[in-house]
Amino acid sequence: MLGAAAGGRQGGGGIHRFGEDAVGVVVSLKDGHEPSRAAFDRLSGLVGDDLKAVNQLILQHMQSSVEMIPRLASHIIAAGGKRLRPMLTLAAARLCGYEGERHVGLAASVEFIHTATLLHDDVVDESVLRRGAASANAVFGNKASVLVGDFLFARAFELMVADGSLEVLRILSRASSVIAEGEVMQLATANDTETTETAYLEVIRSKTAELFAAACAIGAVVAARPKAEQEALYGYGLNLGIAFQLIDDVLDYSASQATLGKTIGDDFREGKITLPVVLAFRRGDEAERAFWRRTLEEQEQAEDDLERAIALMETHGALKDSVGRARHYGAIAHDALGIFRGGTFKDSLNDIVDFCIERAF
């Protein structure tokens, strides 16, 4: 149903309202609640038992006689995170009719890769916060974060080897090198206000969406389904991942985030060039571009600069249109699932696309 309706979603009004005069954009508010959160909870429920097994496996495989490793790893792994990527592996496998247990180990492997990249990301971004708490590098130092990231990455491969599928190993080793390429690309465009939308998309496709795609595709592999289903799930994950990252980048300038008590403006303070910036920069006049150059390239920021940045984005519809771009990829993700028979897993995977776009947390 959702898949069929996907094409109409992109232009479809009504669901998302954007404050005309508010500082920032209000994403995902039908009536002041968080309707999309229900979709996430529904998927959590569907894969609940498997996800418990994944969490146990994660705890087990992050152990080491080197005491600092489980301490640092549990700081980032056990401290939460939505577990969205492993949930995708679990749900994709079930969507393909898989009834075994192999998807559990592979989902843990996906989460290890994700966690390793988070640890290295935070070092590279010099972040002091992660999910509202002190980042691992802030607590344990950059050195330990680099090395424990390496450890978790190696453990991810040990888990895949234990599973024994060369096809899964191929998909996830390729994803890992693409992710690293995306991160280096991002480094090269950092603080560069001239970054094009095309370059930005290439970065998020590599650094974020590729792992979503791989996480989904391996669900078809364990289920021994035909290549067409593997590719459909790959396409679903890829487009979902792009939409997810686009919204992540929008939320960093979102007033609704601020009202929910979440920090906003991290990307702005770091001078990250995300789509809202790319659009506002290109649609602005010379004075505005000078503002973006001063704040993001030269990193000279005054107290109310974030507010001004959000106001400029509002003026130019940069946040609204970034959400619009996300809807485009969301629509493709919906259609990618078209070849699968209907059922709770298909519905749930469709709903999760809308969750990623409409989420306000």
Q: How far apart are CA 210 and CA 114, in angstroms?
A: 11
Closest approach of its own copies to the CB of residue 107, in Å: 18
Cα separation values, 78 from 70, 115, 201, Å = 10, 11, 31
Closest approach of its own copies to the CB of residue 65, in Å: 8
For residue 353, which of 226, 243, 276, 245 has the smallest C-alpha distance?
A: 243
Closest approach of its own copies to the CB of residue 195, in Å: 14
Cα separation values, 156 from 23, 176, 179, Å = 43, 11, 15
Cα separation values, 333 from 101, 211, 274, 346, Å = 26, 15, 22, 12
Nearer to its own copies, 6 or 123 (CB): 123
Nearer to its own copies, 168 or 223 (CB): 168
Asked if 236 contacts 333 with a C-beta cutoff of 8 angstroms, the reply is yes
Q: What does the binding site for its own copies look like in residue numbers (CB under 8 A)?
A: 64-69, 116-117, 120, 123-124, 142-144, 146-151, 153-155, 157-158, 160-161, 164, 166, 169-170, 173-174, 176-177, 179-181, 183-185, 187-188
| Residue with the two structure tokens 């970054």 | 195
Q: How far apart are CA 324 and CA 322, in angstroms?
A: 5
Asked if 31 contacts 23 with a C-beta cutoff of 8 angstroms, the reply is no
DSSP one-letter string for 241-294: HHHHHHHHHHHTT-HHHHHTT----HHHHHT---HHHHHHHHHS-HHHHHHHII
Nearer to its own copies, 66 or 129 (CB): 66
Nearer to its own copies, 52 or 174 (CB): 174
Rg (CA), the chain: 20
Closest approach of its own copies to the CB of residue 139, in Å: 14
DSSP 223: T
Closest approach of its own copies to the CB of residue 170, in Å: 5
Asked if 346 contacts 3 with a C-beta cutoff of 8 angstroms, the reply is yes
Nearer to its own copies, 18 or 153 (CB): 153
Closest approach of its own copies to the CB of residue 110, in Å: 14
Nearer to its own copies, 154 or 290 (CB): 154
Q: How far apart are CA 277 and CA 272, in angstroms?
A: 9
Nearer to its own copies, 110 or 160 (CB): 160
Q: How far apart are CA 263 and CA 132, in angstroms?
A: 8
Closest approach of its own copies to the CB of residue 283, in Å: 28
Nearer to its own copies, 7 or 164 (CB): 164
Closest approach of its own copies to the CB of residue 208, in Å: 15
